[in-house]
Amino acid sequence: MNLKKYLYPIIGIAIAGGIFILATKGKKPTPTPTPEPTPEPEDGSGVSPEQKKPDPTLSAILANANATTILKGKKIYSKVDNVKARTEARVNDGIVNNLYGDITKAGTFLGTAISVLNDGNGAQNTTAKRVYKWVKVQLSKDGYDAVQANRSFLTRDLFTPSAFPIVYFREDVIKL
């Protein structure tokens, strides 16, 4: 009688284990396709060849002492894919970063320029031999929609704001 008390639970566990083994034995995990990594620039700077080719019109304006007055109100477009909009005129990819969002498609109308600022961290542009310039931009509807499309449903805005946010773009990822 004491044997029956332990025998039924052991048989139940054995049957459940057998069912589990039979159910998972024939299934092989499907391999997930891994995207091809983007080629790292040869110089190791992290700047793509497209970014190294500056927009000549924008470069001439940024070299001018009155860059803000010349650039104010001009339309700004993304020059390369995966442009990062920032909340400050510097790169901060730490735990609490200043990333507003990503714009994945080149040629997207980002918005209109407001002002020009120097990099907050003092990062140097190796091709121009000077501190990077950041353009303060009032996002357009297209730029705002591109950012929202790349956000999770948890962080996406529920309603379109009446005034689109002001963000910063580094000079090597935008064009006029």
- The domain locations on the chain are 49-175
Q: Average the pLDDT over 96-107 and give the result.
A: 84
Give the three-class secondary structure for 101: strand
Distance, CA of 45 to CA of 52 (rounded, Å): 11
Distance, CA of 112 to CA of 91 (rounded, Å): 21
pLDDT value at 146 more than 60: yes
Return the sign of the alpha-carbon dihedral for residues 37, 38, 41, 45: negative
pLDDT value at 163 more than 50: yes
Specify the DSSP class assigned to residue 125.
E
Give the three-class secondary structure for 84: strand
Distance, CA of 116 to CA of 17 (rounded, Å): 67
Q: Average the pLDDT over 120-124 and give the result.
A: 80
Quick one: what percent of the chain has pLDDT higher than 90?
2
In contact, 121 and 91? CB cutoff 8 Å: yes
pLDDT at position 164, please?
A: 87
pLDDT at position 44, please?
A: 46
> Apex CA 100: angle with CA 37 and CA 160, to 5°?
120
Question: With bands split at pLDDT 50, 70 and 90, how would you rate the model's confidence at 26?
Answer: low
* Cα 153 to the center of its chain, rounded Å: 16
pLDDT at position 89, please?
A: 83
pLDDT at position 46, please?
A: 59
Per residue in 131-142, pLDDT tens?
888 889 999 888
Give the three-class secondary structure for 27: coil
Give the three-class secondary structure for 142: helix
